[in-house]
Chains A and B, each alone.
Chain A
Amino acid sequence: MKTTNNIWFNLDWATVVLYLILVILGWINIYAAVYSEEHQSIMDMGQKYGKQLIWIIAGVVLAIMVLSVDSKFYAAFAYHIYAATILLLIAVLFLGKEVNGARAWFEFGNIALQPAELGKFATNLALAKCISQYDFKIQKMRSYIILIALILLPSILIIMQNDTGSALVFAVFVFVFYREGLNGMVLFWGFAAAALFILSLVLDQFKLLLFLLSISVAAYGVLRQNVKEPLIGFLAIIAMLGLTWITDSLFSLDGTPLELLMITCTIATVLFIVYGILRRIGEVWRILLFFIFAIGISMSVNYFYKNVMAPHQRDRIDQVLGIKIDKLGKGYNVNQSKIAIGSGGVLGKGFLKGTQTKYNFVPEQSTDFIFCTVGEEWGFIGATAVLGLFLLLLIRIITISERQRSQFSRVYGYGVACILFFHIAINISMTIGLAPVIGIPLPFFSYGGSSLWSFTILLFIFLRLDASRTENLM
């Protein structure tokens, strides 16, 4: 089979076209978001859309430069790029300019650079290099520690810049590790912990304890693969609860429902242990461990939430979970964003006809809330189309990743998909009130050079690697 090394021939043009469509759609929506009748032309360099156009052109130049570099360079210098980025992240803590309470920007005259943006592809490169080393086995404890260290280092530095949103992005690499052989249970427990986190905030203690108790009994049934035992367990717990309640009323002890449930739990646990010892059932200990672990987590969640988290972070979570509704204060952004999107209807109000975005009711509408303009002016149809384009891009990247011969390229490709996925999912979710507002941009859409360029570099390094998929990188 004859292969050519011409990158223009091997380049995945489908992805390039998707990229260009998204960038141009983004530019059109930025124009609509800041549009005013008084503005002269769409090329007006004094306006955001004029600047974005410059950044798009610069982004294309940047993409061509990235493609021009030899593909071996990225694998060879992965650690160097990572180290340089870490140095920048440290430097910005001391030399950076503070914007909106985050010390995350270097400023050179008119150009501002955000090292956290570089951190995404730099970390991705380093992880790809690490995992693709031939003696690397992901199941080993040593590997876990190295991977976690590679992720934690930039994350902590970014958190120190007070940019928690960008730091959260790094959590998404767990899907990359999963693809590379990470035990599925880690993913499962991760999700379970997240679910528990949310439940601990939403449910009161009584309901939470009742829920955990029920889950434990059900889990026991799953482990033992029978129905009879958990059913008897359930009935026994209900009976005990009834008995404690009757005792409580008989002696007028005035116990709260939570106290009664806690007493029931204690008795049930003792009986459960006795049962396990007598019958020599090993699963009892695992369930017990799960139960105690879960209670521990839910208790620490409340502590973490009340004492560690910053008030504004707590507010954002409260708004999403509906614990507190404050449409004029803390929840103003999201409420206005939902009004803008919701008022778009099926077909939207039409290009430049969105009143909510045009008259500035939605804050940050050209950056973090750019999706509002899509939703308001193009309606459900337009929003679905944009969502579809993004999904198409993600699936395309995964598909390309899977065709790589080199593990480095594949890991990097998954990293690209996952980083984009996190941004897209969280950004759109926060505009419709599904996720807390953590201030991360919508890839290719949001106004701003730093984020556009970093996503461009992130994507085009992968396209460069893919163009050389037939070569041996290491």
Chain B
Amino acid sequence: MDVFSKRKYLVIGLFSLTALIILVRLFYIQVVDSSYKISAATNVLRREINYPARGVIFDRNGKLMVFNQAAYDVLVTPREIKAFDTLAFCSIVGVEKEELVNELIKAKNFSRYKPSPIIKQLSSQTYAVLQEQLFKYPGFYIQARTLRQYPAKIAAHVLGYVGEVDQKAIDANKYYENGDYIGRSGIERAYEDELRGVKGISYKMVDVHQMVKGSFEQGRLDTAAIIGKNLVSTLNADLQGYGERLLSGKVGSIVAIEPSTGEILVLASSPTFDPGLFVGRERSRNYSKLLNDPNKPMLNRAITSSYPPGSTFKIANALIGLQDGVLQNVRYSCNGPASAPIKCTHNHETPLGLISAIRESCNSYFWQAFKSEINHFSTPAEGLEAFRNSLLEMGLGRKIGGDLYSETSGNIPSVSYYDKYFGSGGWNSLTIRSLSIGQGELLVTPLQLSNMVTLIANRGYYISPHLVRSIQEYDGTQDTLKFEKHTIDAGRDNYEMIAQGMEEVVESGTARASAKIDSVIICGKTGTIQNPHGEAHSAFVAFAPRINPKIAIAVYIENGVWGARYAAPIASLIIEKYLKGRIAPGRQHFEDAMINSDLISTMKLEGGD
């Protein structure tokens, strides 16, 4: 025997020790550590999401405003790509080669093993061509989606748009996950829950190429997708489109409400944009273009901008005075331009009562009315507090929309505001006199102005203005929405007095030349709002007809020179179109003038020098 034969034990020992180390390691990863079992499940299981079609939106007459069209995203799994003819691919899908390469790099950086979208929202025509050729491009997949389509390019602000969810929305609501679409503004946002439906989820077993190999547990955990509900909007699509045309070239807005229901007929803001710009491949480019436009076309001025109401505010002032009982059978004198502390710009009879004061838009009268309203209480603070509360009750200076997204409240200055400026007790009605004619710190939205005349039109109530009338249930029935009714009991006679004054505004007052139409009594009020930055703003509020009003409207045109210049003609054209269906030949020059006037480029020219 050789002397080294004992060394076999060391060799066998080494073999056994190695086996033992492997065994311990196997025991650890197979028995002790359970994380590998979870990883195995995530490897194999794939949650497939079936996106239901989003509900469509009709106007009040059943006209389609938003519908869906199939669109296709191209996804890529970088690991599975083989060399392919990039030029041919680019020409099919219509992208530049550099763009494709960039997207591929982005996808690779995201994950080499998971699919990521590289080309979004292809049209069905392009899809048809690509589908036939897809076998040439391993690693590329197509996922169907639906895109919003707009038959008429109107109501961009009202309808809002749909976009991919952001992290905030995901954190706020467990329903959403990356890649989902959500209503980002307007009706799309306000009625997101109804419109989106419920996405379906199914669990599939996949192989490493993400190829589906079968359902998991025979589909016991799967849920079906539920299609989104359709909405019937309160808008009148034709009138909305007409309103947007009248606003072209101007910065401003129109809000028209059906007084008896609070249903918004027109909610137009200018400048506007084609809602289709937020759909499809060009989406993000268009978005930043609109975002950077100095005229801020994405801003919904009708509800998110607030302005001093100017003389249109005299209606609210009058109503408060009548409510307080300080204006009945009272006449105030006016010295015209020589009046103090506020000049009156109009020449008219004096002294004059409420109806004439509205007709003539007499500053002197409303200053004195305001003084009485404030001094009716023992201190100016109490007076202002009561004044302010009455305004809030009327729906001025607070959010009033029943279903509006991104509405702003405006501002009615409070006692504490003036206390801060002038000290407690350091001010009185004279100090805050500009409130009497709707100037100063007072800020309201065009929607609130429209709602204010709705209150007069209804002689004492308004229903929260809203954009959606009913929701179509799955069984075909309409679920009509209910909105809050606000009543302000100031006496029928008092409302008639204001209505009379407003009728005279159009018949023989400040809007006689610009707002009068045949055989319909329009009750209106002009407003010319001093603007330190340029031309005065032009405002007009109205309702018509005087008996059983069908429409209440507010028009506000920035830098529109004076109330009767732009706002009154536009409002009267809308009313005429709505009530009579067409514009009388004698008034068509108004229509042409409004559509063709261009205040935006004029402003730009002025800004240039």
Residue positions of A touching B, CB distance < 8 A: 175, 178-181, 328-329, 336, 338-346, 355-356, 358-361, 375, 379-380, 383-384, 387-388, 390-391, 394-395, 398, 401-402, 414, 417-418, 421, 425, 428-429, 432-434
Contact = CB atoms under 8 A, between A and B. Distances in A.
A380 B26 contact: yes
B36 interface: yes
B119 to A, nearest CB: 24
B398 to A, nearest CB: 54
A341 B29 contact: yes
A328 B113 contact: yes
A414 B40 contact: no
B109 to A, nearest CB: 11
Interface in B1-37: 2-5, 7-8, 10-12, 14-16, 18-19, 21-23, 25-27, 29-31, 33, 35-37
A391 B183 CA distance: 65
A418 B44 CA distance: 39
A328 B108 CA distance: 12
A175 B112 CA distance: 44
Contacts of A391: 15-16, 19
A428 B40 CA distance: 20
B4 A179 contact: yes
A394 B31 CA distance: 27
A383 B26 contact: yes
B206 interface: yes
B208 A175 contact: no
B213 interface: yes
Nearest to B209: A360
Given A342-B33, A346-B30, A402-B5, A425 B22 contact: yes
Contacts of A395: 12, 15
In the A-B complex, the 4 residue pairs with the smallest Cβ-Cβ separation, listed nearest first, are: A342-B36, A359-B207, A343-B40, A342-B29
A100 B354 CA distance: 97
Contacts of B206: 359
Contacts of B8: 179, 398, 401-402
A380 B33 contact: no
Contact of A360 (B19, B31, B111, B208): B208
A360 B113 CA distance: 13
B9 to A, nearest CB: 10
A328 B112 contact: yes
A324 B70 CA distance: 45
A359 B44 contact: yes
B31 A361 contact: no
Contacts, number: 120
Interface string B139-180: 000000000000000000000000000000000000000000
A339 B36 contact: yes
Contacts of B10: 178
Contacts of B43: 336, 339, 355-356, 359, 361
A356 B213 contact: no
B205 interface: yes
Given A356-B40, A395-B15, A414-B11, A432 B29 contact: yes
At the interface, is chain B mostly helix, strand, loop or mixed?
Answer: helix
Given A179-B11, A434-B21, A345 B26 contact: no
7 contacts: A179-B11, A346-B31, A355-B205, A360-B207, A384-B23, A391-B15, A429-B22
Contacts of A336: 43
A179 B207 CA distance: 49
Contact of A398 (B2, B12, B112): B12
Given A342-B40, A359-B207, A394-B12, 12 more contacts: A328-B113, A339-B39, A341-B30, A342-B37, A343-B41, A345-B37, A375-B26, A380-B26, A383-B30, A391-B16, A432-B22, A433-B25
Contacts of A429: 22, 25
Contacts of B18: 421, 425
A178 B7 contact: yes
Interface of B: 2-5, 7-8, 10-12, 14-16, 18-19, 21-23, 25-27, 29-31, 33, 35-37, 39-41, 43-44, 111-113, 205-209, 213
B15 A421 contact: yes
A328 B111 contact: yes
Contacts of B14: 175
A183 B284 CA distance: 75
A343 B39 contact: yes
A417 B4 contact: no
> Which of B7, B22, B33, B209 gathers the greatest number of chain A CB atoms within 10 Å?
B22
Contacts of A341: 26, 29-30, 36
Nearest to A383: B26
Contacts of A175: 11, 14
A359 B15 contact: no
A432 B44 CA distance: 20
A442 B405 CA distance: 67
A329 B111 CA distance: 10
B110 to A, nearest CB: 11
Contacts of A398: 8, 11-12, 15
Contacts of B112: 328-329
A434 B30 contact: no
A262 B137 CA distance: 60
A341 B205 CA distance: 19
Contacts of A328: 111-113
A432 B24 CA distance: 11
A175 B44 CA distance: 44
Given A181-B4, A380-B30, A402-B5, A355 B25 contact: no
A384 B11 CA distance: 21
A336 B113 CA distance: 13
Nearest to A354: B40
A380 B7 contact: no
Contacts of B41: 343
A53 to B, nearest CB: 25
B47 to A, nearest CB: 16
B44 A434 contact: no
> Which of B4, B18, B26 gathers the greatest number of chain A CB atoms within 10 Å?
B26
B28 to A, nearest CB: 9
A356 B44 contact: yes
> Which of B2, B15, B21, B25 gathers the greatest number of chain A CB atoms within 10 Å?
B15
Contacts of A383: 26, 30
